[in-house]
Structures are given as C-alpha cells and as structure tokens.
C-alpha cells in the first residue's frame, strides 16, 4: 500500500473522527440517493460492516463493500477536495491491488449513477469494463436514474500491470 492511502479500522475510529468523516462525505451529494443523503446512521452501518474495507487519503474516502473472499466486492469513492487525476488513479490502483491480493477477489464492481461521468471515466481508466445498466435504481433530486455496472476481473487488472 502506498503511504498516502491509509486503511482505517472502523472499530478504532473515535466518535469525533467518525463525525468529521461523515461531515466531509455527506457534502458529496451525488454519492447518495434522496433516501440516504442525510442518514449518518446508514453511513456508519456501512463503515462498521465486517464485509467492508475502508481507506482514506487527505482528499477522499474509499469503501470496498460486500467483500466475499475469492469472489467479489464493490468499490465506492467519496472525493471531497480537488485532486489531480493521476493521484486519484494511483490511489485507486493501490487499493484495487490490496483488495485483489488480500481477499483473493475474482472481480470488483463499481456502480456509478448515469449522471456521474467523472466516476465513469475513472472506472474506464482503471480498466473496468461497462457491463450494463440497472434501470431507475438511483433516486436523486426526486427523479429516478439508471445505475451503470462496471466490472474489473483479477486477470484484467494483472494484464494492466496491477499484479
């Protein structure tokens, strides 16, 4: 793991640190649907789930959720400060490498809403392949939006130099 990316042990995270983290993350409106946008309790439950790995940099938080060793996981990015794209890609690759190696995952999925074109471009630059849509899955500003399905297989990541 590179020095700028720090894994977080959610159980060791103090209450004040967790609240500060929530305050940064909740400002990223596009990351939450209308039903969970102001639900710190839902965010806390995601952090504390034993099938979740949490990573942090100065500028972002990354949750890798629904980890099923030797099978799959889902990755979610919350970026609260402007970042150079090269830094974000470097951080993301380090986290993907860690997850593929530590949990022997076969695949990692990403599910950006259709309007989040930055997330879609980042997924493609990381080697993820578009696999389809989930229709009207994301309620945002009172309207339903499709969620896109992107997947990255272990052998695809390795072929891109990810190991």
d(CA 99, CA 75): 10
Read off the pTM: 0.91
**DSSP codes, 116-163:** -HHHHHHHHHTT-EEEEEEEEEEEETTEEEEEEEEEEEHHHHIIIII-
Hey, what domains does the chain have and what are their CATH numbers? Answer: 6-162 (3.40.630.30)
Residue-wise pLDDT tens digits, 82-130: 888 888 899 999 999 999 999 999 999 999 999 999 899 999 999 999 9
Average pLDDT of the segment spanning 69-91: 90
Q: H-type helices in 3-147, by residue range?
A: 15-26, 40-48, 85-103, 117-125
| DSSP-assigned letter for residue 113 | B
Return the pLDDT at 163.
Answer: 65
Return the pLDDT at 82.
Answer: 82
Return the pLDDT at 12.
Answer: 85
């Amino acid at each position: 793991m590179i020095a700028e990316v720090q894994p977080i042990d959610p159980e060791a995270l103090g209450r004040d640190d967790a609240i500060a983290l929530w305050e940064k993350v909740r400002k990223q409106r596009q990351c939450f649907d209308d039903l969970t946008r102001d639900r710190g309790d839902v965010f806390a439950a995601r952090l504390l789930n034993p099938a979740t790995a949490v990573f942090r940099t100065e500028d972002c938080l990354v949750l890798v959720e629904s980890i099923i060793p030797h099978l799959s996981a889902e990755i979610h990015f919350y970026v609260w400060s402007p970042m150079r794209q090269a830094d974000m890609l470097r951080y993301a690759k380090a986290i993907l490498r860690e997850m593929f190696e530590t949990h022997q995952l076969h695949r990692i999925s990403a599910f950006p809403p259709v309007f989040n074109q930055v997330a879609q471009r980042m997924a493609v630059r990381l080697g993820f392949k578009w696999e389809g849509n989930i229709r009207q899955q994301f309620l945002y500003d009172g309207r339903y939006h499709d969620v896109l399905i992107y997947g990255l297989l272990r052998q695809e990541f390795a072929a891109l130099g990810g190991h």
